[in-house]
Structures are given as C-alpha cells and as structure tokens.
Amino acid sequence: MANKVLMKGNEAVAEAAIRAGCRLYFAYPITPQSELIEYMARMMPKVDGVFVQAESEIAAINMVYGASGCGRRVMTSSSSPGIALKQEGISYLAGANLPAVIINVQRGGPGLGDIQPAQGDYFQATRGGGNGDYYTPVLAPSTVQEFADMASLAFDLADKYRNPVLILSDGLLGQMMEPVEFQDTKTPEELKALDNQHLDWCCCPNEDEPNHHHHEINSLEIDPVVLEKHVLKLADKYAEITANEQRWEEYNVNDDNEILVVAFGTASRICKSSIDDLNKTGHNVGLVRPITLWPYPYEAVSEAVGPKVKKVIVFELNLGQMVEDVRLGVNGKVPVDFMGKVGGLVFTPEEVKAKIKENL
C-alpha cells in the first residue's frame, strides 16, 4: 500500500503491527485505546492470527508472556490504569529476557483519572514500572505516522535485545486521524523467519535425545549469587541499549536559539506550532524532542543548548516528570523551567507561546 490512508492512531498502529509480523494479540478493553483492540478483533482472523480478549489486563500480559516464551511476535495494548495492572507481567518479561510490544495510550490519572490525553505515566514507563532492577525501551510518537512506524521498530528492538518494548502514546494520538503510509507487509518467508528466530531458547517442538532440549522460561533464581549474576547481565544489556538506541528529533536547533524547548509526544507537536509562530516574529526558539524516553538522549539535550540559550523550558502533559531528565542532561548550564497541563487538558499553542515569551 503505497498510498496514504486517513486513520486513527489506534487503528494505524494495529495495522502496522500486523504488517510487522505480529500474529498474536491479547488485551482487555479500555478507553481511549478501544479502536486498537477492536481493529485487532476484526483483522487477526483475516491473517490467521490470534486475538483473545482476556479476562483482565493481568491475564492479557501473562498470555503475552506465554506466547513470547514460544518465540513469536506478540503484542498487548491498554491505557494508563490498565498499564499499571500489567506491570507485574512486564517485570517478569524483563526478568525472563522475553521480547514483547506493549502500547500505552495514556489518559489522565492518578487512579481512574479520566479518558482524556495525558503524559502522566512517564515515570512508570522510564523507570521500569514493576518490581526489580530493569528497564524497557520506551518509544514516544508525536504523529499518527510515527505511531504506526514505531510498531515495526518496537518489534525489532524487542527481538534484538529480548526485552519488552513500550510505545508511550496518548489519547490524542490514539483518537486523532492523520494520513498514514504503511510499510510493506511481511512476506510469508519473512514471517517464517521471524517465527524461527528464537528456536534456540524458546518453547518449541522437541526431539528425542541426543537433540532433546529443556528450555526454561523463567525469572526465578533462588540462589542470591546466581540472581546477582543474572541481574548484572541484564544491566549489561541495558547499557548496550543505552549506547545504541537513543533517538531524538531536533527542530530549529541552531547557535542563535534564545530558548530551547524540550517536549515529547503530543506536547511536542503543540510546541512546534508555537515555535513556528515565534520564529516568524523574529524569536529564535529550538526544540529537542526525545523519541526514546528510555534510553534518554541526555547528551543530545545537552548539546542542543546553544551559546545564546538563556533558558531551557520543558512542556509536558503532567506535572514535570521529564524535567528531572532534562536537568540531568542540561547539567546546570542554564536554568530549566517547566510548564505542564494535567487532568487530561492540553495546552494551546498560544499558552506555550506566552510561556516562552515571558522568558525571551
């Protein structure tokens, strides 16, 4: 499909996941990601895939664990309260070195919150989220196109590092329609290769001795000395991901920037509109948009602070969760300021402009 189609983010990412070779999807209904589960319910039977509506988010993520332990591309999705429930399974996936893709179409919190867009799950997403020392790569899209493109990237990263990967979207990206161009769908040969890529460790058909295998999919190590080795080996993997997988976008970043804005996802696209307007009126403002929220592009943020930058301003749809990371990146070079919006409300380009102008 080389032509562009107009689709909701929730449906576009579902279609893109199927094209990327996802043939197993387990989830539980929740707003504002319902179009995603409904798309999978419609489309999976048409591609000989598996769709199961689970009895809970906990069951869904554990079905993902079972399928991933069998070496196949598998995905689940939910929205903030449901993602909180999935944390048990995400920790077990990380502990057992299992690939999987988890999509969070964020809504307002805490608790039941509301069903409007928010970015309040930043801490949870970027600091592991469940019990124990672990990280999951976190991809943050800012357009429907990017949301869709991230499905394939997320599966590739998950398979490469044998680790769960999160796509951190929000209710706005999930619900809005934009033109999307899809990547080519995997051929039957490519699908077969994907299904066979993990046969050396996953649950799969067996043989008699001497080729009999006893693969154990497991996050339990009862001997503390063995568990220490296991956790340190995971840490090596996270270091490798940190070195190799930082992604970000720079928008109008140059040596004459007076202000540098840092924002991700939906917040960043609003900031772009404000920056365009300001640049037209002679104010030079740049933007760094982290695309991977973990690993966080600290150096990229630091290097984007040009010689004339007076201040870095962070815009988020939360109370300043990413500010901590921006401060680590900026490392005291210039002050770091923040503007947030919560409750499922979204700031307008005018509000963003006003905040920037205060500091010019």
215 or 357, CB closer to another protein?
A: 215
Rounded CA-CA distance 49/183 in Å is: 19
* Residue 14 or 259 with smaller CB distance to another protein: 14
- Burial of 94 per CB tally in 10 Å (0-12, 13-18, 19+): buried
The total of other beta-carbon atoms located within 10 Å of residue 252's CB is 17
Integer Cα distance of 105 and 9 in angstroms: 10
Q: State the nearest-atom distance from the C-beta of 231 to another protein, in Å.
A: 17
Angle, CA 343 vertex, CA 80 and CA 292 arms, to 5°: 50
Distance of CA 321 to the CA centre of its chain: 16
The nearer residue to another protein, 96 or 342, going by C-beta atoms, is 96
- Kindly state the smallest distance separating residue 72's Cβ from another protein, in Å: 5
Question: DSSP letter string over 258-282?
Answer: SEEEE--HHHHHHHHHHHHHHHHTT
Closest distance of CB 220 from another protein, Å: 6
Q: Least distance to another protein from the beta carbon of 212, Å?
A: 7
Q: CB-wise, 73 or 107, nearer to another protein?
A: 73
Closest CA to 117 of 174, 175, 171: 171
Taking the complex as a whole, the smallest distance from the CB of residue 147 to another protein amounts, in Å, to 25
Q: At closest approach, how far in Å is the CB of 32 from another protein? A: 24
- Site residues, another protein (CB under 8 A): 24, 26, 50, 52, 54-56, 58-60, 62-72, 74, 88-89, 92, 96, 202-208, 212-220
Closest CA to 69 of 155, 162, 191: 162
Tell me the C-alpha distance between 282 and 9, whole Å.
Answer: 34
Q: Report the residue number, 184 or 209, with the smaller CB distance to another protein.
A: 209
Q: Closer to another protein by CB, 41 or 70: give it.
A: 70
Residue 25: phi, psi to the nearest 5? Answer: -145, 125
Q: 110 preceded by cis ω (within 30°)?
A: yes
Q: CB of 232: closest distance to another protein in angstroms? A: 20
Q: In which region does residue 162 sit, left (phi positive, over 0), alpha (psi from -120 to 50) or beta (all else)?
A: left
Name the β-bridge partners of 52: 26
Least separation in angstroms between CB 250 and another protein: 40
Instruction: Please report, as a single letter, which amino acid is at residue 148.
Output: A
> Are residues 147 and 173 in contact, defined by beta-carbon separation less than 8 angstroms?
yes
Q: How far is the CB of 104 from another protein (least distance, A)?
A: 20
Structure tokens at 320: 């300043």
Q: For 80-90, give one letter per residue: b (16+ CB within 10 A) or e.
A: bbbbbbbbbbb
The smaller minimum CB distance to another protein, of residues 4 and 213, is found at 213
